[in-house]
Chain A
Amino acid sequence: MQNTFDHPLPNEHGYFGEYGGSFIPPELQQIMNDIDAAYREIRQEPEFLIQLASLYQHYVGRPSPIFLAENLSKKYGAQIYLKREDLNHTGAHKINHCLGEALLAKKMGKKKIIAETGAGQHGVALATAAALLGLECDIYMGEVDIKKEHPNVVRMHILGANVIPATHGRKTLKEAVDAAFEAYLKDPHSQLYAIGSVVGPHPFPMMVRDFQSIIGNEARQQMQQQYGGLPDHVVACVGGGSNAMGIFSAFLDDKEVALHGVEPAGHTMAVAGEHAATLSKGQPGTMHGFKSYMLQDEQGEPQEVYSVASGLDYPSVGPQHAYLKDLGRVNYHAIDDKQAIDAFFELSRMEGIIPAIESSHAIAQACKIAQGGGRVLVNLSGRGDKDIDFVVENYGKDYGLGSKL
């Protein structure tokens, strides 16, 4: 299946309602205009579409299957379906847009592709795409995440990428974005900043969404062909929001399908700095080049954020999510660390699938929704291999395991 690249939003200036746009210094604006123009061109080119579709099929292993999780379904009283993005090459949905961005970088004659990464999934996927397509690759990653997500750091090194630590602030995803942005400003001509989610200045929220739309396009067809019709609910976790936009995009016009985004409640929603539930607790603001909901203090400074899932702790969120929230088209929920880790073990032990901690947030919310019956489709956006040591060390004893195995 090919991507359709067929969405009404954003408008030509990159706005989803009042959100999105391009809040960047004027030196960078021309570069963004160039990327926008090159992207609009490339997505019309049959050779590009064929190449991307071929890579999706033979390299990534698409279409990713949809699995009816019968044991979980029985327990909660609804049909729970898993869109298996965890089975993609590199283990998560991120490869979908990384291949697209790397092909775009090649077309634009860039030598190097750079990006930030949180849990390391985007970094690994980009390093993979760079290796495949012969591009240099620099990945910026918070020092804390480098320690926590060690296997992914090793993968990036093996793939030939440079992993550059972000050492300021909380040393997690936001700081990695700062560091990558700073490096990009130094040389925006020979590098392409392959933003890792549906965030950043226009055209990135549009472009990453378009590449990720393959998830929803496939899922919608699979549900109809294999399972007799559309789901009642679609559930996905939201940090920046790329896997969620990817699966939601195909269902936006299906009014009978309820859409659910799941943010990290971390330790507690009651204390600023202890969660990263941007849509639930944030207010509109501008940061990292775009306007969206943002967790900020009364000065307009981004607040510190926390989640057990490195891929979710970001103090802003993709602008289309902000728009969909205001519109009421998507319901946004929050799941805390404990609930996510419960879901991590439950899926592992009932279905034999170890999910990424990020995706575990979506699983936890899906189990809640399932108690009301119906057909619940969950985007299982990544697999949990990267998380196993961290989970066992920190939570193993609560689930009958020693803290060292």
Chain B
Amino acid sequence: MALNEYIASRKQNKDLLLMTHVVCGYPSFDANLKELEIMAEAGVDFVELQFPFSEPSADGPLFVKANQIAVESGVTVEQCFEFMAKVSQRFDFKVLMMGYYNTVFKMGHEAFVDALKAAGGCGFIVPDLPLEEAGALHDYAKSQDIAPIVLMTPTNTDARLQTIAKAADGFVYVVARRGVTGGKTEMDAEVGEFLDKCRDISPVPTGVGFGVSAKEDLDFLAKHADMGIIGTAALKAWEEGEEKALRDFFGSLGLL
């Protein structure tokens, strides 16, 4: 099923889709599977499987540590693809690769896309690959029905957002971090405005990551986007109390 049909079918039953994130091999592949079982139960629609890289320049401290520990423990790209194949067979949600460009560059664009497709992945998110560099990789991916996910951020100019929209496929990942200053309500209004703009410009659905950690965040996002993206909060819950804490976390979101 093409990605847009999948998204449309999932959207029939709910206002807001959900994507979650695990770092492959951190703390272990077994732990990953337990996390994914809970996520599946919570009804998530997409999961990003992060291929660990020791210089994860777009990640916050918690994920930096997770990446570095996974790398140091010897997690390989091959193991990540094997894990992806297992996950995409076992669960209903769709799986994407998230990682850094040197992993893709080192494998070669076509080999990477072919491996991703063979493992049942539906797309990839490579945040340090600028659009200007992405042409050949994106073209080949699209020819294989693999969606290259592009990113929009509040620092993009309107002209830049238009350029990004033209390259969009599957969905757009909107990185809408809350600012470090400013009252919450005011920032929410500002973020809401930005999300509406992205949704307006984007030809495909929008997914938003901005430190989603509570039910009210999801309620807010349901008005301004098609999908919420949960990263840090879920890993934090797992670190605090593994299965029980993760279960409680999804419970607090009203999903379990």
Contact = CB atoms under 8 A, between A and B. Distances in A.
B241 interface: no
B123 to A, nearest CB: 17
Contacts of B68: 168-169
B102 A286 contact: yes
B194 interface: no
B101 interface: yes
Q: Which has the most chain A C-beta neighbours within 10 Å: B57, B64, B152?
A: B57
B33 interface: no
Interface stretch (A20-28, A220-228, A339-347): A20-28
A301 B53 contact: yes
B175 A285 contact: no
B155 A29 contact: yes
Contacts of B61: 182
Interface in B99-143: 100-103, 105-107, 127-130, 132-133
A42 B53 CA distance: 37
Interface in A147-202: 168-169, 178, 181-182, 185, 187
B155 A182 contact: no
Interface string A375-386: 000000000000
A26 B151 contact: yes
What's the interface size class on B, roughly? Answer: 35 or more
B71 A301 contact: yes
A300 B155 contact: no
A266 B129 CA distance: 33
A168 B70 CA distance: 13
A289 interface: yes
A107 B82 CA distance: 51
A44 interface: no
B32 interface: no
Given A22-B130, A301-B54, A187 B180 contact: yes
A265 B19 CA distance: 47
A289 B57 contact: yes
A37 interface: no
Interface string A13-43: 1000000011111111111000000000000
Given A30-B156, A181-B57, 6 more contacts: A27-B58, A27-B177, A31-B155, A169-B68, A301-B71, A302-B54
Interface residues of A, number: 32
A90 interface: no
A299 B127 contact: no
The residue in B55, B58, B101 that gathers the most chain A C-beta atoms within 10 A of its C-beta is: B55
Contacts of A285: 102, 105-106
A27 B106 CA distance: 24
Contacts of B77: 299-300
Given A30-B156, A169-B68, A187-B180, A23 B101 contact: yes
With a 10 A CB-CB cut-off, give which of A21, A31, A185, A299 has the most chain B CB atoms: A299
A300 B130 contact: no
9 smallest CB-CB distances across A and B, nearest first, come from A300-B106, A30-B155, A25-B58, A300-B102, A25-B127, A23-B128, A27-B153, A286-B102, A26-B153
B88 interface: no
Interface string B7-21: 000000000000000
A178 B132 CA distance: 25
B76 interface: yes
Contact of A26 (B71, B72, B76, B127): B127
